[in-house]
Structure 1
Amino acid sequence: MKLTVNTVAKFVILFVSLLLHVDTVLCQDLSCNKTGPCSCVMGDGSGEVNLQPLVTGNPTFKDFPATTYPDDYLYSWNPCEPFSQGSSCEDVAVCQKTKNGSNDYDLGHQSSVQFQAAKSDDTGEVLVVAMYITEDQLRVTLVVLQCATGGTNFTVVGAVPANTIIYHFILGSPCACPGAGPNCAGSSLSIGTLICIS
């Protein structure tokens, strides 16, 4: 079964509700219009979310283990430029591999990235998710972009539920805040983002 944007959006909603252990609340639709492979502009005028200042390697986030049992793979993500790793991850945005490095799997390409956003009617908080789909459209990776103060933290939740085709990551960073600017990787901004289920 190939994935559609509507199917992926439903998985985003389910994932966020499970992650945050919250009940469904009413949300306003909010766009984050893609401006590049790792950036989008918020439709409400609050500014651009741009991950380019985080780029430090190729991939920037390499070989992170999943935090969800029994997922026993390592994951790599490069938010802005394609990278290659192993034999099956050629020019990808996301790669999964076995811990011994014997197998690797494409989990999404840069060209497929789409951004979803929603705003809570109750709190005004915003959720932005970057979605990557594989070329065969059989697997998707969702990266929750969480506005945070201090340094950048990257977490691989993994396949949730187990043995699924949906993979979940969380990036907490000042660069995930709308309007953060080019110095966000070294700045300390106030918390202004996240969380909503539509």
Structure 2
Amino acid sequence: MSWFKIFTIFIAFSSVTIADDPCRYQTDKGVIDLSSLARTDNKPQYPDKVPAAGSGYSIEYSYNPCKSFTELPSCQGVAGCQVSTDGKYSFSIGKQESAKWNSGGIGGGHSVTYTDGPKTLVVTLVCVKNGTDELEALGEATTNNYKMRLTNKCACWNGCGGTPPTPPPPQRNCSIDGHEYTSDKEIIQSTLLDITINPSQLSPPTSSYAVVDKYGIVLELHLIGIDDIPSAFFCLQSLQVLSIIGCANLSIPSELLLLADTLTSFIVANISTPLTLPPELFNMTILSTLSIMNSNLTTLSEDIINLAQLTELTLDQNQLTSLPTALGKMASLKRLSVSNNLRLASLNALTGSKSLITLQGSHCIITDLPTNISSLSTIELNNNLLTSLDELNIIASNSTISMSFANNSINSISNDFFNNIQTIKYLDLSGNQLSKLPASIYPAKGFEILNLHNNSFGHQETEWVTGIFRPTNTTVIM
């Protein structure tokens, strides 16, 4: 334990001070800065974490530092969310705008406290310098009091963003379509659009808004229900996040490339007519998050291989029938979601991926699994056409935490599958055609929830399964 320092929790309100920024806390010791951990696409950076055994098996928790997120049906604009494992219920346990830093006591460290009505969430910060990035949900300590533990180098003094921000250089003049702009303020106001600046409540988005820093620099721009993007926006020289949501007919102009030096997140959602991605998009070399959702996208170019820093790709609710083979070769891609592509039958393009950690592909028509994926920790392939998991051991890694294959037609699992998995917390095989389980499942370590509801187990097999797990802390749902 000597290689890290645990920042303990101090809940006494006398030691809690309101932070100037929910992401950043600065004292004479230095800076604790969590901003680089925050997702900016309305999703949690740490989703659906299951508490340790004994903390309540039917509940999961999600958390996002710094930025609000939404988790349906009821968590909207929150910092933390409590969710039932069946997804039917969710409850806010803290808001970003309530964030307070705990300065600790003698020998103590820091934590962040969030509130929402009677509910309080305390996130303990654990300083490590070995690359670990982990959120542990510790559950509901007492009624309406929730605890989490965040382990990351950004919890260390000056671990991330350790020096105070310096004012950006003066904005360069930018000319486009015959107009010259000298400031971001001039750009925003020139469009005559109704754009809210730094709204107190970002979710759910109902109108366009921008996130602007104290120097007047636009960092994020979220356009709601705008079919034609004013060309002036491509003169925003420090724009990091651009989202375009709810358009009847969207054409992404080639001027997008003017944002290539700063844009890290590009989000398009809810486009009525089929969307075509411009070739310039694949030259956005520092892009780390790309989300194209519910936009009638039919193809994705092999040129996506050029997005060398892309870590997260979301393609949910489109019309894809295949994936580019480049996805299996992208060294930085960690999270891929292709759920609700109702004509997508194969994930073989992912074969050989060495970086992919999370794979989500529910509600497609996938019939078999890709091969030779060595780093997966979360797999969600519910509501597909899988009939066997006999080759699952060649894609699940020894660090696999969660697997869900509900509502397929699975009737067999490899006998040696679980031999290669050191720990697994959650496995959902409900709604399949299994009549027995492989013997290797029983010694597997770390099981917290095993959902086998609605299969073809006979009475004897049911008793065997529940009996073997009965002395353990595993919750078995038959």
TM over 0.5: yes
Q: Give the aligned CA root-mean-square deviation in angstroms.
A: 2.3
Residue 127 of structure 1: SS of its match in structure 2?
coil
2:11 corresponds to 1:9: yes
* Aligned-partner Cα distance in 2 for 1:68–1:132: 24
Identity %, equivalent residues: 23
Alpha-carbon shift at residue 70 of structure 1 (Å): 4.1
Name the aligned partner's letter for residue 48 of structure 2. Answer: D
Q: 1:178 aligns with which of 145, 157, 162?
A: 157
Deviations 1:31-58 (A, max 9, x none): 776231221112xx11111111223562
2:141 corresponds to 1:168: no
Alpha-carbon shift at residue 157 of structure 1 (Å): 0.6
* Aligned-partner Cα distance in 1 for 2:95–2:155: 20
2:32 corresponds to 1:49: yes
Alpha-carbon shift at residue 142 of structure 1 (Å): 0.4
Q: Would you say the 8 A contact 1:33–1:40 is kept in 2? A: no
Partner of 2:292: none
* Aligned-partner Cα distance in 2 for 1:181–1:93: 20
Structure number, greater radius of gyration: 2
Q: 2:119 aligns with which of 139, 147, 160?
A: 139
* Aligned-partner Cα distance in 2 for 1:170–1:181: 18
Name the aligned partner's letter for residue 147 of structure 1. Answer: C
* Aligned-partner Cα distance in 1 for 2:75–2:63: 11
TM-score (norm 1): 0.68
Residue 170 of structure 1: SS of its match in structure 2?
strand
- Ranges in structure 1 where 5+ consecutive residues have no aligned partner: 1-7, 13-28, 184-198
Q: 2:128 aligns with which of 132, 141, 148?
A: 148
Q: Would you say the 8 A contact 1:49–1:177 is kept in 2? A: yes
Q: Which one has a larger percent strand, Structure 1 or Structure 2? A: 1
Q: 2:138 aligns with which of 149, 152, 157?
A: 157
Alpha-carbon shift at residue 107 of structure 1 (Å): 0.5
* Aligned-partner Cα distance in 1 for 2:16–2:78: 25
Q: How does 1:82-121 map to 2 (within 5 A)?
A: 82-120=68-106
TM-score (norm 2): 0.29
Q: Would you say the 8 A contact 2:55–2:140 is kept in 1? A: no
Provide closer, same or farther for how the CA distance between residues 138 and 69 of structure 1 changes in structure 2, counting only shifts above 3 A: same
Residue 19 of structure 2: SS of its match in structure 1?
strand
Structure number with greater CO (CA < 8 Å, separation at least 6) is 1
Any runs of at least 4 consecutive aligned residues in structure 1 with deviations exceeding 6 A, and if so which?
A: 29-33
Q: Would you say the 8 A contact 2:112–2:124 is kept in 1? A: yes
Deviations 1:59-110 (A, max 9, x none): 1000000115141211100111111111210111111110000111011100
Q: Which moved more, 1:30-39 or 1:168-177?
A: 30-39
- Ranges in structure 2 where 5+ consecutive residues have no aligned partner: 1-9, 163-478
Deviations 1:107-127 (A, max 9, x none): 11000000112242xxxx431
* Aligned-partner Cα distance in 2 for 1:33–1:141: 15
Q: 1:34 aligns with which of 14, 19, 26?
A: 19
* Aligned-partner Cα distance in 1 for 2:48–2:16: 31
Partner of 1:127: 109
Provide closer, same or farther for how the CA distance between residues 48 and 31 of structure 1 changes in structure 2, counting only shifts above 3 A: farther
